[in-house]
Amino acid sequence: MIKKKIKKEDNIDTPLNTTEASVKEDKKIKKKIPLWIVIIMAILDLGAIGCLVLAYGPNEDFKEFLITTAMSTMNHKYLARMIYDEETINQVLRENTIVEIDEVTNPDEITIGSYETQNYESKYEEQILKKDPNNDVYKILKIKENNNTYYIAVIYDPARISLAFSSTPGVRGEKIKTIAKRNNALLAINASGFEDPKGEGNGANATGVVIHNGKVVYRGRPNHWGGGLVGFDKNYKLVLTKKSAEVAIKNGMWDAVQFGPFLIVNGKEASIKGSGGGVHPRTIIAQRRDGIVLFIIIDGTGVKKGYRGGASFKEVIKVLKRYKVYNASNLDGGASSILVEKDKIVNNPVGYSATGERFHPNAWIVK
C-alpha cells in the first residue's frame, strides 16, 4: 500500500482549536469592514432608536406634531402612515382639530369706510389705519410672531378686490405672479385649493365651488379642510357661509371660492382642540368691521422641499384678534401660500420650483 504524504496546502479536514478559529475569523472580519462603515452603522442604529423613542415614547408631542402636520398636507400624508396605523392617526386628529362657529356672517355688521385715521387706540390700530404717504390703496405690514413672519396686506377699499383666473382653466394653472401681471394687479394671493390626483401639481382644477360675477363657474370635489364658501357679496363685504352656492348667490355672493376652516365669524373665534391641526405656512383672508380687508401670508420657519414650519391656527387667531378682525377664513396654505405685489414675490414661498412658486387655478387680486 502506497502512503500519500500530506502537504499543508492540501484541502482536507484537520482538527483545529475552536477558539483559535474564532479569533482568526474575527480578525478577518475586522480587516474586511472599514472603520468609517462601522461608525456610520452605529450612527444609523442610534438614529433609528431615537426615532422609535420619539414616535412611541412617553412624550406625545412628537406624535401629535407629525400626524397633524403630515395629514393636513396634500402629498405628504405618508409620513404619518409609514409610522402609525389609521386608528392612531384618526384618534390624534380628533384630539387636535378646530370647531368652527356655526353661523353665517352678517353683512349688516360691516360698515365700509367707517375708520378714523387720526386717533389710534393702540399701536396695532396705528399699524393698520395709518396710511403710507404715497399709497392710499394698500400697505403691507411685516411682523414677527413666534419666530414666524406675517405679511399683512391692508386693503382700504374692498371694491378693488376680485377673483382672477388662470388663462387655461381646466388645462393648467398659472403662477400667482403671472395671473397678477396679466390682470395689472397691485396685489395678489392664492385663492382656491386645487386637485392633484397624479401629483403633477399643475393647478388646473380648483377644489370645491368657484363663483365669479354672481355665477357658478366651476364645481370641483370639496376639500376636507372644513369651511365653506369664502368671498365677497355685491356690496364688497366678506361672506363666509356653508349654504349652497345657489343660496349664497341669491343672497348677493359675487366672487367666492370654497375653502376653510372659518377662523372668526361675526367676531366669534373658532374653538381649538389641541394644536388645531399642525403648523404650516398659511394664507388668510379677513375683514374688519370698518370694511378694511386683510390678506395675510405666514411664512414657515423651515426650508423648501423639506420641513416648512409655520403657524398653528391658535397662533393665527391670536394675531387676527389683535388687529380687530371680524370675519376670517383660512385658504390653501403650505406650498401654496404666496403674496405678490405687482411683479414681485413678497414672502418666501416653499413650493418645489426654484422660486418656490406653484401653479394655481385662481387668485384674489387688488386692482
> Tens digits of per-residue pLDDT, 146-159?
889 999 999 999 99
Task: Give the integer Cα–Cα distance in Å for 12 and 324.
Answer: 92
The residue from 52, 80, 95 where one domain ends is 95
At residue 201, the pLDDT reads: 74
Q: Are residues 43 and 185 in the same domain?
A: no
Instruction: Give ∠ CA 106-336-260 in degrees, rounded to 5.
Output: 25
At residue 300, the pLDDT reads: 75
Within a domain: 22: no
Within a domain: 269: yes
Average pLDDT of the segment spanning 266-289: 90
Q: Are residues 45 and 104 in the same domain?
A: no
Q: Are residues 179 and 88 in the same domain?
A: no
At residue 12, the pLDDT reads: 37
At residue 163, the pLDDT reads: 98
Q: Total structural domains in the chain?
A: 2
> What pTM value is reported for the model?
0.78
Q: Are residues 149 and 265 in the same domain?
A: yes
- Among 90-94, 350-354, 360-364, top mean pLDDT goes to 360-364
Q: Which domain holds residue 311?
A: 98-366
Q: Are residues 110 and 64 in the same domain?
A: no
Q: Are residues 280 and 353 in the same domain?
A: yes
Cβ atoms within 10 Å of 283's Cβ, excluding its own: 25
Q: How confident is the model at residue 16 (pLDDT cuts 50, 70, 90)?
A: very low
Q: Are residues 165 and 199 in the same domain?
A: yes
Say if residues 146 and 297 touch (Cβ distance below 8 Å).
no
Taking 70 as the threshold, does the pLDDT of residue 54 lie above it?
no
Give the DSSP letter string of 36-74.
HHHHHHHHHHHHHHHHHHHHHSS--HHHHHHHHHHHTSS
Residues 6+ apart with CB under 8 A from 18: none
Q: Is the peptide bond before 58 cis (omega within 30 degrees of 0)?
A: no
Q: Are residues 333 and 250 in the same domain?
A: yes
The residue from 69, 95, 121 where one domain ends is 95
Within a domain: 21: no
Nearest to 243 by CA among 234, 327, 231: 231
Q: Are residues 83 and 104 in the same domain?
A: no
Q: Are residues 90 and 145 in the same domain?
A: no
Taking 80 as the threshold, does the pLDDT of residue 5 lie above it?
no
The residue from 58, 73, 95 where one domain ends is 95
Q: Are residues 197 and 73 in the same domain?
A: no
State the residue for C-alpha cell 360675477: 213
CA dist 359 to 216, 220, 257, 337, 363, Å?
Answer: 22, 17, 17, 11, 11
